[in-house]
Amino acid sequence: MRHALPMAQIGPQAEPMARAIGACVHCGFCLPSCPTYVELGEEMDSPRGRIILMKEALEGTIELEAALPHVDRCLGCLACVSACPSGVQYGELLTPFRAYAEPRRKRGVLERVQRRLVLQTLPYPRRLRLAARAARLARPVARVLPTSLATMLRLLPRELPAAQPLPHIVPAEGERRARVALLAGCAQQVLDPDITAAAIRVLARNGVEVVIPADQGCCGALASHTGAAAQARAHARATMAAFPRDVDAVITTAAGCGSGMQEYGTLLLGEPDHDDAAQFAGGVVDVCAFLAELGLREAPATRAPVTVAYQDACHLAHAQGVHSAPRQLLDAIVGVTLIEVPEAELCCGSAGTYNVEQPEIAAALGRRKAVNLSATGAHVVASGNIGCMTQISTHLSELGHDLPVLHTIQLLDRAYARTM
């Protein structure tokens, strides 16, 4: 599509943004993959519609404020990128656009408070832990809170698992095949620390030495994907500083973090440390992709046959293009029957802070996902992102269909340990 973006005014991010707009031919192949289009059925809430809105807002032919509600409604799931035959890198338009819009937009007081709360809480384990405890107390009053805040509280587990201190280095078992550094994750460490622990055990068992940098914090993905560019850049720099470079890969277990870190190059475009960021980003690999590539030393087996429905995390399948690796790993577990989920490409509605910002759509998508998952008749749901797992779990129980929802790596871990 032709455009007339004011390149200089937008800054260094203008190039990738213009490339994405230019590559879009408006063919509409993205529409059936877009959760908001499927739910709302209006062109403004579709990928190609949003591309037009972002383009026109940047060009000044429509007001930024007119475009924003629709851009805000985008989950950033990037299913459209997988569906796009023209190779539009939608994420390279969306993320910089959100950053561009943030300082220019008007937000009401409630929205501001909520946004600050989320961005200042979720990425910080200690604060999140405190908030969760407070939330448990607040649960009885959740009914009178604004919907979005109520949603956030509702998604927090009733009982938080105990904090688990992490070792700094876990040696490989047997002959060492690789050495990696692991992102422990911030919110994940509070909500479900077992994921990181399982990843460490499975990696070590497969001959991988795991370094867990002590002073790591949030990777910045959450901030980056919601347009808080300055905060995202600060997190990115701190993460890069905390991680050793003499490793074969930087491993992530949360799809959102992985995709955020793989975008460090774009995030720091035009900054002096851009090249370093791009190089660092190139070494970031999801744990499943890494293991599938390395190959499992021995196939684990479950104690009893189990049917697993694998639900793609959008930031794994669409943003990182990791589609077959987790399936391969699950398929390798003796005793596991892997089944596909209807509408698998549709986002579950979690999408980072989405279920806080757009609770109605998030809930509709969550319900839709839960219905599709329960229709498969699976015993266990596997996914690759803590946010998705939380959302899916919540909506499955609301449907009265409590299924265990596990990270792929947890399934491997339990099969190895013969606890499943």
Partner 1 sequence: MNDVVAALGGIGLGDRLLTGPAALAAFSSDAQTAFQQRAIAVVVAETVGEVQAAVRVCHAAGVPFVARGSGTSLSGGSLPVEGGVLIALNRMNRVLRVDADTRTAVVEPGVINLDVTRAATPHGLYYAPDPSSQSICTIGGNIAFNSGGAHCLLHGMTSNHVLGVRVVLPDGELAELGGPSAETPGPDWTGLFCGSEGLFGIVVEATLRLMPVPEAVRTSLAVYDSLEAAGDAVAQIVRAGLLPVALEIMDALAIEAAEASVKPGYPPGATALLIVELEGERDVVDADAARLDALLTASGAREFLATEDLDERALIWKGRKAAFSAVGWLAPDYIVQDGVVPRTRLGEALVEIGRMSEESGIRVANVFHAGDGNLHPLILFDSAVPGELERAERLGGDILRLCIALGGSITGEHGVGIEKREYLPLMYAPDDLAAMRRLRDGVDPAGLANPGKMLAPEAA
* Cα gap 359→350, rounded to integer Å: 10
Q: Which is nearer to partner 1, 66 or 110 (CB)?
A: 66
Q: Which is nearer to partner 1, 33 or 302 (CB)?
A: 33
CB of 413 to partner 1, least distance (A): 31
Contacts of 419 (CB under 8 A, 6+ apart): none
* Cα gap 283→230, rounded to integer Å: 23
CB of 28 to partner 1, least distance (A): 4
Q: Which is nearer to partner 1, 31 or 299 (CB)?
A: 31
CB of 21 to partner 1, least distance (A): 10
CB of 318 to partner 1, least distance (A): 15
Q: Minimal CA–CA distance to 96: which of 273, 227, 234, 261?
A: 227
CB of 45 to partner 1, least distance (A): 8
* Cα gap 343→321, rounded to integer Å: 17
Q: Which is nearer to partner 1, 86 or 307 (CB)?
A: 86
Q: Which two tokens stand for residue 58?
A: 């940047």
Q: Which is nearer to partner 1, 87 or 167 (CB)?
A: 87
Query: Residue 219: left if φ>0, alpha if ψ -120 to 50, beta else—which one?
Result: alpha
Q: Which is nearer to partner 1, 45 or 194 (CB)?
A: 45
CB of 147 to partner 1, least distance (A): 18
Q: Which is nearer to partner 1, 23 or 160 (CB)?
A: 23
CB of 374 to partner 1, least distance (A): 20
Q: Which residues bind partner 1 (CB under 8 A)?
A: 1-2, 22-29, 31-32, 41-44, 46, 49-50, 52-53, 56, 61-63, 66-67, 69-70, 84-88
CB of 41 to partner 1, least distance (A): 5
Q: Which is nearer to partner 1, 28 or 282 (CB)?
A: 28
Task: Identify whether the C-beta of residue 303 lies closer than 8 Å to the C-beta of residue 334.
Answer: no
CB of 285 to partner 1, least distance (A): 21
Q: Which is nearer to partner 1, 75 or 403 (CB)?
A: 75
